[in-house]
Amino acid sequence: MRVDQIFEQAKAAGAQPVSFEMFPPKGEMTLERAREVAGSFSQLNPDFISVTYSAGGSGNNGATTKIAQMIDADFGIPSVAHLTCISLKRADLLAKIDEMRAAGIQNVLALRGDVPQGAPTGPGCADYRYAKDIIPHLVDAGFCVGAAAYPEGHIECDDLELSVRQLKEKQDAGASFLVTQLFFDNQYFYRFRELAERAGITVPITAGIMPFMGKQQISRMVFMCGASLPSPVIKLLARYEDDADSLRAAGIEYACRQLEDLAANGVDGLHVYTMNRADVASAAMSALRA
C-alpha cells in the first residue's frame, strides 16, 4: 500500500498513522535477523515500517530492498525503502529503481545522505547533490516518495526559514509525505509546523521521535543532527549519569511523553526511531493507545 494512501485514509478517519524505523546496522544484518525484528514490530500493527539505507555512509545498504520486500510480503505491513543519493551516479539510480520495482517496493524515502569524509563538494562533484534531485525520477518510476524534514533546520543551514523553503522544493519536486528528524522539544516541532504551513507545505508531516538510551548516543545525535537538548533532558542525564538502566528507562519514558503530546496536538503522523528494539516500539504504542 502507498504511504500517501495511508495518510489519506487516516485523515478521513480522524486518526494518525504510527510508523517505525528499523535499520541494517554497520556490517551485516541477515535477512533472518531482520525478519525477527520485523516480526516483533508486526505484532504492534504499525501503519508502515521504514528501512534505512547505509546510515552514516557505512551501513549494509544492499539489504534495504530485501528487508523492505520481506516486511511487506511476510507480514503484510507497508514498507518504505530509504535511498540516499549523495554517492549515486545516474546509472546507479536507474539500477536501484529497477531493483526496487522488481521487488514490488511502492514507497521510497529520498534522502541526500551523509557526505563521505574527504569527498569533494560543490557543483559538478556529484550527479545528485540533494534529495530533491532524485525525487522526480522516483515519482516518474511510479513510487510514492517521501522526504526528510528538519524541525530545527538542517545542521548545515543556519536559517530555519531558508531550510523550510528548501523543504518546499522537495514537495514541489513530487514528495507526497515528510518525516522529520528527531527532536527532544516538541515546541520546536510546533514552530516548524507553522512555518511549513506559511511556506505552502501541504503534504503530511510525520514527527520523528527517538528515545535517548545513553550519554554517548545522545551526544552523537546532537552533533550529527544539531538537535537541541532541553533542560529536562539535561537533568535526566545528570541524575542517571551512573545508572545506565535507569537512564534508558527515563529516555523511553521521555519519548513516550513527547509522542502523547504530539498526538494530542494533532500532528499528521508519528514515526518512532526504534533502533531495532522491540521494547521501544512497544512502549511507544502503549503510550499512544492508552
- DSSP assignment of 220-256: HHHHHH-----HHHHHHHHHTTT-HHHHHHHHHHHHH
For the record, the C-alpha cell of 166 comes out as 528548501
- The single residue listed with the C-alpha cell 557505512 is 58
Residue numbers in the chain where pLDDT is lower than 50: 55-59
Q: What is the value of pTM for the model shown?
A: 0.93
pLDDT at res. 54 = 59
- Give the span between the Cα atoms of 61 and 23, in whole angstroms: 9
For the record, the C-alpha cell of 175 comes out as 514528495
- The single residue listed with the C-alpha cell 499512544 is 288
pLDDT at res. 27 = 56
Which long-range contacts (C-beta less than 8 Å, at least 24 apart) are formed by 226-229? 226/152, 226/153, 226/154, 226/155, 227/152, 227/181, 227/182, 227/183, 227/184, 228/152, 228/183, 228/184, 228/185, 228/188, 229/184
pLDDT at res. 124 = 55
- Give the span between the Cα atoms of 214 and 37, in whole angstroms: 21
The number of helices, as runs of H, and strands, as runs of E, in the chain is 11, 8
pLDDT at res. 57 = 45
Q: Is residue 257 a contact partner of residue 268, using CB atoms and an 8 Å limit?
A: no
As beta bridge partners, residue 147 has: 110, 178
Annotation marks residue 21 as catalytic: yes
pLDDT at res. 123 = 57
> What is the three-class DSSP state of 47?
coil
Annotated catalytic residue within 8, 21, 169, 194:
21
pLDDT at res. 126 = 65
HSE (side-chain half, CA atoms, 13 Å) at 194: 6
- The single residue listed with the C-alpha cell 542525564 is 237
User: Which residues have C-beta within 8 Å of that of residue 47, sequence separation ≥ 6?
Assistant: 6, 10, 17, 18, 19, 78, 269
pLDDT at res. 158 = 79
